[in-house]
A = this chain, B = another copy of it.
Amino acid sequence: MLALMRPQGSTTPGSWAATRSDPRIRPLHDLVRLLGGDAASLAPADERLPVALRRLDEDAALVHEGAPLHSLHIVRCGSLKCVRALEDGYQQVTAFALPGDVIGFDGLHRGQHIATAVALETSTVYALPLAGLQALRQRCPVLDDALQLALSRQLASAAATAEMLAAVASEVRLARFILWMAARMTALGWSPRQLRLRMCRRDIASLLGVAHETVSRSFTTMADAGLLKVENRDVESLDLQRLQARARATRSLADGRPPGAHPVALAA
């Protein structure tokens, strides 16, 4: 059932040849653990089921928008960007995928990929062929649970993206982006203060729906304000407190705080 597709490595085939075990295969419990599932309660017979692994060099495309959907991918290490072509040639970045993120599920209902996924650095991803996936889920409820959870996270993540975009002021958007990335780094066990952004300004700008010059300007503004230390793609959060305050602001600066009550408070 569980078809072991040979990963079409974009890597040079010979150089990373397996010495001891094939590096293109990992046991199932690794995947379950990555997804935050309860790997311990995997049936012993299942925990070493082979899962295909695929390695991507920087700028290599994992899948292409519109291509038939054959596998679900889960990022193991590295990072990718998901982009959609917006008909007029404009490239819209829709997400940055980090370890544990699922790629491809959003295309299930149409049978084809919704976005192109491009590696931002050398990365590896698990590949779960759709053929046999249902059987595998039935066989391993633990994997099923883990996948459900991952999808739930994915959905919440999409909401977070919308929340960033919904901010009116560009600086607020960027602050939310930084905090969001920091939160994800924390979830992965990294430091939330030291960010190494793998994507260029233009990609961030695309995700946030602003001009890339504006991203630059907002970075320097916040750096001047002592919120960040920005050195190219290395971003250090110096004052999470005030950074969160800025991310919370519905409207932009107002740094000289006129302590008058908030003008906002809307609707319902």
A interface vs B, CB < 8 Å? 36, 59, 83-84, 86-94, 105-110, 114-116, 118, 134, 138, 141, 144-145, 148-156, 158-159, 161-163, 165-168, 200, 202-203, 206-207, 209-211, 248-250, 262, 264-268
Q: With A155-B105, A158-B158, A203-B267 in contact, is A84–B163 under 8 Å at CB?
A: yes
18 contacts between A and B (CB under 8 A): A83-B267, A86-B163, A88-B249, A89-B264, A89-B265, A90-B250, A90-B264, A91-B266, A109-B153, A109-B156, A114-B156, A134-B144, A151-B155, A154-B155, A155-B155, A158-B158, A158-B159, A161-B162
Q: Are B109 and A250 in contact (CB under 8 A)?
A: no
Q: Are B163 and A94 in contact (CB under 8 A)?
A: yes
Q: Are B152 and A141 in contact (CB under 8 A)?
A: no
Q: Are B266 and A206 in contact (CB under 8 A)?
A: yes
- Specify the chain B residue showing the minimal Cβ separation from A265: B89
Q: Are B166 and A268 in contact (CB under 8 A)?
A: no
Bound-complex Cα distance A137 to B103 (A): 23
- Additional 17 contacts, C-beta under 8 A, given A105-B155, A200-B267: A83-B268, A84-B163, A88-B248, A88-B250, A89-B266, A107-B156, A108-B148, A109-B153, A114-B156, A134-B144, A138-B141, A158-B159, A161-B162, A165-B209, A166-B209, A167-B209, A168-B211
Q: Which residues of B contact A114 (CB under 8 A)?
A: 156, 159
Q: Which residues of B contact A210 (CB under 8 A)?
A: 168
- Specify the chain B residue showing the minimal Cβ separation from A208: B166
Q: How far, in Å, is A42 (CB) from chain B's closest CB?
A: 16
Q: Are B206 and A152 in contact (CB under 8 A)?
A: no
Bound-complex Cα distance A148 to B118 (A): 25
Q: Which residues of B contact A145 (CB under 8 A)?
A: 134
- Specify the chain B residue showing the minimal Cβ separation from A211: B168
Contact of A115 among B148, B159, B209, B265 (CB under 8 A): B159
Bound-complex Cα distance A202 to B203 (A): 30
Q: With A156-B114, A159-B114, A266-B91 in contact, is A250–B202 under 8 Å at CB?
A: no
